[in-house]
Amino acid sequence: MQQTTAAPASIPVPEPDLTPREIVARAAAMREKLLERQAETEERTFYAEDTHREFTEAGFYRILQPRRFGGYEFDMPTYFRVVMELARGCPSTGWCFCLAGAHVLQVASMFSEQAQREIFGPDGHFACASFGAPVGVAQPRDGGGYVIDGTFPYASGIPYSTHFMGQTLLNPEDLTDPGLMFVISRDKFERLNDWGDVLGLIGSGSHSIRIDNAWIPEHWAVREMMIDLLVEGGTPGSRLHGNPMYAGRTLGFFQGEFGAITVGAAKAALDEYERLVMSKPFAWNPTMKRYELEHYQRYVGEALAEISCAEAAVIQGAEQWMELARQNVEEGRPFTAQDDARLQALQDTACRIAWRAVEGILFRTGGSGSARNGERMQRYWRDLSTYWSHNTPAQRDLLLTRLGRMELGLPLDAPGMAPVRVKDA
């Protein structure tokens, strides 16, 4: 099935001729400044206001945003490459940016033209933190719209978000109810001062927000489950924008965000490791630098190989996601829950490979001095250890069991597993 052609953009694109290659190069050029500001970013618990302005001027927040509404409408591999470069400079900054800049994809896919015009307007600047699990309550209001009430934790990227995207339930007693995915503007929520007392990713801006009985219009919500969007045959966004990128599922993309961040952090750790071995003497023979010894050379080679493997998996997963979305819209081949689970598992495995390179090679052989407070290698280890405590990698066994059951044609009726949702014909 072929897409309809999108209408001309109603919000101007700041740099109409900007290319994916150029925007990735802009992110790479910021690495040294982000490196220098890692400690202050942790102290603040999010990156600085002038860094946010640089990201805005560079166009990072507009990478996945539709051109119709002021974005560059690039692709997922470009977005992940930018995130990798930012995380290589500062993993916390990469995390904070990534999880605020990514959810434009769900808004542009599932919400109506009217909602998108209001949400992205008037100048097209949009950043949107999120929390995917159902929290709080939504009550329909007489005369239309919903009243949202609740405290939503771990809203990574919220310090510079113009909006928040959340998931809540209308009928908690109905287990088949997909709930309500909603967007709410910044003036209707409060960012709580409850982030920073963690081991790592201290600068990721992962504060909670409080929504206190705030009203949103009905078209700022959709009856969808954020982590299980039904996209078969296309979506309101893919038809509006003429781009199948806006008809893809969620979990493979969400896990790819973590993949891009962890690969960027692993590259940062390798950068630091190379600096250490080039400058530090070997303890048992101080006349030699560590890099002159064969086993340190092997450590560098092994870590580089594993990080390169993880990077290739992240980018290939993004390319496969784009192709599945295209097939879904243009060829009538559904983008299935099994496809999404496979991509999620691929990206999760990329995260594990990156972590293994840092924890098992670079941190282990970097020396006790690099584990001191204030040292970059210690910070990278803390950051990746904290990712390892995230709910997503903690659910790997459930993820792989779900994928295996689908591959074997078994029903998803094991404990904790919901049936696969299919769009009505």
Q: Which CATH superfamily is domain 128-226 in?
A: Butyryl-CoA Dehydrogenase, subunit A, domain 2 (2.40.110.10)
- The answer to which of 14-18, 49-53, 127-131, 138-142 has the lowest mean pLDDT is 138-142
The domain segmentation of the chain, as residue ranges, is 20-110, 128-226, 246-407
Q: Mean pLDDT in the chain?
A: 94
Check residue 420 and give its pLDDT. 63
At residue 76, the pLDDT reads 98
Question: Are domains 20-110 and 246-407 of this chain identical in fold?
Answer: no
Mean per-residue pLDDT, 338-352? 97
Extract the tokens encoding 33. 């400044």
Q: What is the pTM assigned to this prediction? A: 0.94
pLDDT (0 to 100) of residue 415: 63
Query: Could you identify the residue written with the tokens 């691929």?
Result: 346
pLDDT number for residue 424: 54
CATH topology of domain 20-110: Butyryl-Coa Dehydrogenase, subunit A; domain 1 (1.10.540)
More confidently predicted of 126 and 284: 126
380, burial (CB in 10 Å: exposed 0-12, middle 13-18, buried 19+): buried
Q: Give me the mean pLDDT over the 150-159 stretch.
A: 98
Question: Position of tokens 């600047």?
Answer: 125
Q: Is the pLDDT of residue 152 over 60?
A: yes
The pLDDT, as a whole number, for residue 198 is: 97
CA–CA distance, 61 with 383 (Å, rounded to integer):
23
Express each pLDDT in 62-91 by its tens digit.
Answer: 999 999 999 999 999 999 999 999 999 999
Amino acid at 377: M
Evaluate if residue 416 carries a pLDDT over 80. Answer: no
Using 50, 70 and 90 to split pLDDT, how confident is the model at 177? Answer: confident
Nearest to 261 by CA among 400, 89, 393: 89
Q: What would the mean pLDDT of 316-321 be, rounded to a whole number?
A: 98
Output the pLDDT for position 414.
62
Residue 95 Cα distances to 26, 45, 86, 156, angstroms = 17, 12, 9, 7
pLDDT confidence band for 398 (50 / 70 / 90): very high
CATH of 246-407, one of 1.20.1250.20, 3.20.20.80, 1.20.140.10, 3.20.20.150: 1.20.140.10
Between 376-388 and 91-101, two packed helices, what is the crossing angle to 10 degrees? 40
Question: How many of the other CB atoms lie within 10 Å of CB of 231?
Answer: 26
CA distance 298 to 191: 47
pLDDT in tens, 352-390: 999 999 999 999 999 999 999 999 999 999 999 999 999
Q: What is the three-state SS of the chain?
A: CCCCCCCCCCECCCCCCCCHHHHHHHHHHCHHHHHHCHHHHHHHCCCCHHHHHHHHHHCHHHCCCCCCECCCCCCHHHHHHHHHHHHHHCHHHHHHHHHHHCCHHHHHHHCCHHHHHHHHCCCCCCCEEEECCCCCEEEECCCCCEEEEEEECCCCCHHHCCEEEEEEECCCCCCCCCCEEEEEEHHHCEECCCCCCCCCCCCCCCCCEEEEEEEECHHHEECCCHHHCCCCCCCHHHHHHCCHHHCCCCHHHHHHHHHHHHHHHHHHHHHHHHHHHHHCEECCEEEEEHHHCHHHHHHHHHHHHHHHHHHHHHHHHHHHHHHHHHHHHHCCCCCCHHHHHHHHHHHHHHHHHHHHHHHHHHHHHCCHHHHCCCCHHHHHHHHHHHHHCCHHHHCHHHHHHHHHHHHCCCCCCCCCCCCCCCCCC
Indicate whether 7 pLDDT > 70: no
